[in-house]
Amino acid sequence: MHLMRIGAAGSERPIARIDDDSYIDVSDVVSDFNEAFFASGDIARLADTVAHRLERGQVEQFAGERIGSPIARPHQILCIGLNYSDHAAETGQAVPDEPILFTKSPNTMIGPNDDVRIPRGATKPDWEVELGIVIGKRTSYLDSVEDAKDAIAGFVLVNDVSEREFQLERNGQWSKGKSAETFNPTGPWLATPDEIPDVLDLGMWLDINGQRRQTGSTSTMIFDPYFIVHYLSQFLVLEPGDLIDTGTPPGVGMGLKPQVWLQPGDVMTLGIDGLGSQRQDVLAPR
């Protein structure tokens, strides 16, 4: 299934995407794609409902509704840094021996086509196309990497927007440059694992104002999604609906020569195979 949420910010309703033109409304059987939904294990039951309604022709057409993030605000957004060796090289940092962990504030999550706002005092705002993992059940101390597959509800496209001065030059943890409002566009849909033939072979891209900046593949990850989930489970409890951003391929503004930073009026477009695409207008600080 492709799970989506559409409607005004704060009033989204859950749907199941059929194709680019149509969907099935499931808001009468699911209140939201949130922690309670994922914890209930109702994804399989929902799939049966969607299949039944599709057979009966209970299909609606998209009509320009806003697309929200496909999951409600999570308990936490966890992020893996420098997870592509060529991205580590372009930033001048060593390839890590273990995953580098940082967090983003959960309220950074916005819809895939919502505006991204540069924070006050920012001088080096940057972009990062990434694969996101959504956790499907409460998870800790997994015994094996293989066990991680059962803990994953699905995968999403995310843009890990960053402010590099705040992140690297302001004497603090990376989270300082990652948690400004609007800094985690997510979606347009969550693809359940059965929809992705090989999560380790997905093409990724990002354009700024129509110019290609990032081209990559999940095949070049240092730590793959299953390793990441198993690894994190040894240090903290993952809750249903949690989001994990898994790192970005090369081509970020910090790695260009000369460096390039987002400016008000810029347009970011990005996508991952099987997970759709996003478009964000970049706005000036409030």
**Final residue before a domain boundary, out of 28, 61, 94:** 61
Domain identity same for 89 and 214: yes
* Residues 173, 261 share a domain: yes
Give the pLDDT band (50/70/90) at residue 172. Answer: confident
Percent of the chain with pLDDT over 90: 93
Whether residues 131 and 190 share a domain: the answer is yes
Distance from C-alpha of 158 to C-alpha of 268, rounded to nearest angstrom: 12
Structure-model confidence comparison of residues 72 and 84, the more confident one: 72
Checking if the pLDDT of 87 tops 90, the result is: no
Domain that holds residue 55: 2-61
- Average pLDDT for residues 89-113, to the nearest whole number? 91
Q: State pTM to two decimals.
A: 0.96
Q: Are residues 109 and 56 in the same domain?
A: no
- Using pLDDT thresholds of 50, 70 and 90, give the confidence band for residue 280: very high
Q: 88 pLDDT band (50/70/90 cuts)?
A: confident
User: Residue 254: is its pLDDT beyond 90?
Assistant: yes
Beta strands in the chain (DSSP E): 2-6, 13-17, 22-25, 60-61, 77-81, 100-104, 109-110, 116-117, 125-126, 129-135, 152-159, 162-163, 184-185, 190-191, 203-208, 211-217, 243-245, 267-272, 276-283
At residue 2, what is the residue type? H
169 within a domain of the structure (yes/no): yes
Q: Are residues 52 and 123 in the same domain?
A: no
Q: Which residues in 82-106 are b (16+ Cβ under 10 Å) and which e? A: bbbbebbebeeeeeeeebbbbebbb
Domain assignment present for 69: no
In this structure, the answer to whether residues 127 and 262 fall within a common structural domain is: yes
Confirm if 270 and 206 have CB atoms less than 8 A apart.
yes
Which tokens hold the place of 178? 């990652």
| pLDDT at residue 90 tops 80 | no
- For residues 163-172, give the mean pLDDT: 92
